[in-house]
A and B are shown apart, each in its own frame.
Chain A
């Protein structure tokens, strides 16, 4: 199918690659269909229903090596997840006008069943993580390392 987007033009997407949020991300409850546009360390989660709506997303484990959480049993059931290998985690990144102040949301990660593409933004019950962790310096150092490795 073709997904029209403001940022990427018309995207050719396979039906089975559409990520389904039965409830939508928090605050975006009506938006249930999304596409992951990969772009290295940070990608985009693009709405299928609204061509202007997209989130910058990253793999939290890339940036916070000791990041960890348990997916609650009911959420595993809800998403039809049977084993760890079927879990894909994305964290939403906020990019304010001052890019150096970009932050990643570790309190409410998006858990995706990598087989069925069912997804949910979950809320962690622990007190270690917040919705804003600075990520710019880490991102830059990682990018430079990768650049150096490929140069």
Chain B
């Protein structure tokens, strides 16, 4: 992992076309601006984690689940 120090308004350039700029620093966090081509997807790590967790949750559906049974049950 590359570790480096940046000050406000300083930038990092990745692969010639992705720019990461430090916009604001305060005790609660760091505000970052990212400029990247449309083809590069940028997401918070928590979003990935949330989707992974939701997929795990979805994968434990009861073996015999069939929504059509719900209708019979309701009738």
Task: Spell out A's residues near B (CB within 8 Å).
Answer: 6-7, 25-28, 39-42, 53-56, 72-74, 77, 92-97, 99, 105, 107-108, 121, 123, 125, 131-132, 139-140, 143-144, 147
Contacts and interface: CB of A to CB of B under 8 A. Distances in A.
Contacts, number: 90
Contacts of A55: 55, 58-59, 61
B56 interface: yes
A128 B1 CA distance: 34
The 5 A-B pairs of least Cβ separation, nearest first, read: A27-B52, A74-B39, A131-B54, A94-B58, A95-B61
A26 B58 contact: no
Given A140-B71, A147-B71, A123 B66 contact: no
B74 A26 contact: no
B63 A139 contact: no
11 contacts: A7-B64, A25-B55, A27-B53, A54-B61, A55-B55, A72-B38, A72-B39, A73-B38, A73-B39, A74-B39, A140-B74
A102 B62 CA distance: 12
Contacts of A56: 58, 61, 65, 67
Interface in B31-75: 38-41, 43, 47-48, 50-59, 61-68, 70-71, 74
Nearest to B73: A99
B22 to A, nearest CB: 22
Contact of A26 (B40, B52, B62, B70): B52
Given A27-B51, A108-B51, A40 B68 contact: yes
Contacts of A6: 63
Nearest to A41: B67
Nearest to B37: A74
A26 B51 contact: yes
Nearest to A50: B59
A72 B55 contact: no
A131 B54 CA distance: 7
A97 B66 CA distance: 13
Contact of B51 (A93, A97, A123): A123
Most chain B Cβ neighbours within 10 Å, of A27, A40, A92, A105: A27
